[in-house]
């Protein structure tokens, strides 16, 4: 049953405290951006600060009695003691080995022992390509997700020469945990067996398969093609990412894994808002766009048809209120006052500037209308009657702000029947 007029059938909840500075920034953008490609199944998920720490997402079978590289799989493996967990702020990957000089300059950007260098690339697992890393388990584990980092059995598995796979890859390939799986180089027919010693979530994008450095070399993964860096306590991760790019140039991919300090977690403040709209991890790109994780997009961003505008792409909770507001605009004979739809779900920072907050367009709960005559800093041409209708349907209007943005309407409340 569709929502009726908010004056008769809806109770307006107390206004939800949303992120500040939610202006459209640089105005109209693409109306229907394509959904971002899914990040790795091992990417960390940002959640509200009040959320409890999840249980370790780790599966480790009983050790096998067979030997791996001359060591009984049941034997313990010496690992350096796990010190403080390190936040993986920046991931650097390249197609070629980084030079010793480049590695030294990159390492100097982080606190002492604040980096992990590893092999990265594609291998064949059960006959199909996956992205893999060959690591020193003693250093790499400090960057892994909480729970996985402390699971010593996982890293002993890696050190023994066995493999650790993501849950998603294990399920899609029907891999037998605790048994041998076929692994090999891409582009060559020979394959060899490695025991699948654990399933784990590392929290690092592009880690569908984790092996030790020696196994990585035998699989053809080039040395020193990946690096994780932590910014430490006093450095903004955005600044660290910029410094890394200044060193690598176009010769490597640089991913910011941690939200900028200007907006440390990607969720709307207030318990009702956080619960309703959800939290998501995201990756940041140099042009200021954002790639939210695929699971959140699939669960929350929808396309639908609304009066006047036609097909739009927004948050599922916004669509009924937007449809109701626009239907009232039609019913009151005001349709001719609206001309263009200039975007709703457009994942980016405000003004595409990573130093600023995340735009509410990233959640798909803001919409821009008639941008060409309602840009920032002017009174604009928005009909006051249309503005009043949108406000009754739970929207805030950018034309009310000190630095006006009259094209912009955003959800300020969720309407209930």
Neighbour tally for 157: CB within 10 Å = 28
Quote the pLDDT of residue 46.
24
Indicate the SS3 state at residue 102: helix
Q: What pLDDT was estimated at residue 263?
A: 35
**pLDDT at residue 132 in the model:** 95
The whole-model pTM stands at: 0.54
Tell me: pLDDT of 268 over 60. Answer: no
CB of 93 closer than 8 Å to CB of 253 = yes
Which residue, among 37, 144, 89, 114, has the nearest Cα to 260 in the 3D structure? 89
- As given in the structure block, the two tokens for residue 245 are 């790019």
The span from the CA of 247 to the CA of 105, in Å, is: 8
Output phi, psi for 291, to 5 deg: -115, 95
Give dist(CA 216, CA 123) in Å, integer.
9
CA 406 to each of CA 100, 312, 412: distance values in angstroms, whole numbers, following the listed order: 53, 19, 16
Distance, CA of 95 to CA of 365 (rounded, Å): 39
Instruction: Please compute the mean of the pLDDT values over residues 35-50 and round it to a whole number.
Output: 26
Residue 55 confidence class, pLDDT cut points 50, 70, 90: very low
Query: Which residues, 6+ apart, have CB-to-CB distance to 67 below 8 Å?
Result: 73
Residue 37 is encoded by which pair of tokens?
């490609």
CA distances from 204 to 110, 117, 242, 413 (A): 18, 13, 20, 35
Report the pLDDT value the prediction gives residue 21, as an integer from 0 to 100.
29
- Average model confidence (pLDDT) for the chain? 79
SS3 string, 23-65, reads CCCCCCCCCCCCCCCCCCCCECCCCCCCCCCCCCCEECCCCCC
Distances in Å between the Cα of 282 and the Cα atoms of 3, 102, 132, 144, 393 are 32, 27, 21, 17, 30
For 370, the token pair is 């008639």
d(CA 185, CA 238): 35
- Banded pLDDT at 37 (limits 50, 70, 90): very low
- Which pLDDT tens digit goes with each residue over 301-326? 999 889 999 999 999 888 889 999 99
Q: What percent of the chain has pLDDT over 90?
A: 45
Residue 391 clears pLDDT 60, i.e. is over it: yes
List the beta strands (DSSP E) in 60-171: 67-68, 71-72, 90-93, 115-125, 128-135, 163-165
Q: Which of 318, 378, 366, 376 is nearest to 342 (CA)?
A: 366
Number of CB atoms found within 10 A of residue 128's CB: 10
By the 8 A CB rule, do 242 and 223 touch?
no
Taking the C-alpha atoms of residue 342 and residue 143, their distance in angstroms, rounded to an integer, is 41
Name, in order, each residue with C-beta under 8 angstroms of 56's C-beta and a sequence gap of 6 or more: 146, 147, 148, 150, 151, 200
Q: Is the pLDDT of residue 408 over 70?
A: yes
Q: Residue 345 and residue 249: Cα distance in Å, rounded?
A: 31
Map out the domains of the chain with their CATH numbers.
Answer: 6-38+287-416 (3.30.1380), 58-256 (no CATH)
Would you state the torsion angle of the CA atoms of residues 35, 204, 164, 152, taken in this order, to the nearest 10 degrees?
A: -150
Write out pLDDT tens, residues 103-160: 999 999 999 999 999 999 999 999 889 999 999 999 999 999 888 999 999 999 999 9
How far apart are alpha carbons 202 and 397 in whole angstroms? 42
Contact 170, 196 (CB under 8 A): yes
């Amino acid at each position: 049953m569709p929502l009726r007029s908010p004056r008769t059938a809806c109770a307006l909840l107390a206004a939800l405290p949303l992120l500040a500075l939610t202006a459209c920034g640089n105005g109209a953008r693409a109306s229907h951006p394509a959904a971002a490609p899914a990040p790795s199944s091992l990417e960390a998920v940002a959640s509200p600060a009040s959320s409890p720490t999840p249980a370790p997402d780790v599966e480790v079978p009983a050790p096998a009695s067979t030997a791996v590289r001359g060591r009984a799989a049941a034997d313990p493996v010496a690992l350096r003691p796990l010190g403080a967990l390190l936040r993986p702020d920046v991931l650097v990957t390249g197609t070629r080995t980084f030079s010793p000089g480049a590695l030294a300059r990159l390492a100097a950007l982080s606190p002492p022992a604040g980096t992990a260098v590893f092999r990265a690339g594609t291998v064949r697992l059960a006959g199909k390509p996956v992205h893999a890393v060959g690591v020193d388990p003693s250093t790499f584990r400090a960057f892994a997700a909480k729970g996985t980092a402390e699971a010593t059995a996982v890293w002993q598995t890696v050190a023994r020469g066995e493999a650790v796979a993501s849950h998603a890859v294990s399920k899609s390939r029907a891999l037998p945990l605790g048994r041998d799986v076929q692994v090999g180089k891409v582009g060559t027919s020979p394959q060899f067996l490695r025991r699948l010693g654990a399933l784990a979530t590392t929290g690092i994008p592009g880690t569908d398969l984790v092996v030790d450095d020696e196994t990585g070399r035998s699989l053809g993964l080039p040395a020193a093609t990946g690096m994780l860096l932590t910014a430490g306590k006093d450095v903004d991760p955005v600044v660290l990412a910029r410094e890394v790019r200044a060193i690598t140039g176009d010769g490597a991919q640089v991913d910011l894994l941690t939200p900028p300090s200007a907006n440390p977690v990607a969720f709307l403040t207030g318990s009702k808002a956080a619960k309703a709209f959800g939290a998501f991890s995201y990756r940041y790109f140099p042009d200021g766009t954002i790639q939210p994780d695929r699971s959140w997009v699939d669960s929350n961003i929808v396309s639908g048809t609304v009066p006047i505008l036609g097909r739009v792409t927004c948050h599922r909770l916004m669509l009924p209120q937007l449809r109701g507001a626009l239907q009232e605009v039609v019913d009151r004979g005001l349709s001719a006052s609206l001309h263009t739809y200039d975007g709703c779900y457009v994942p980016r920072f405000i003004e595409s500037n990573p130093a600023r907050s995340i735009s509410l367009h990233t959640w798909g709960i803001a919409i821009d209308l008639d941008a060409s005559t309602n840009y920032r800093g002017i009174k604009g041409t928005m009909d006051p009657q249309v503005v009043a209708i949108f406000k009754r349907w739970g929207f805030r209007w950018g034309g009310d702000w000190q630095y006006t943005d009259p094209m912009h309407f955003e959800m300020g409340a969720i309407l209930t029947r």
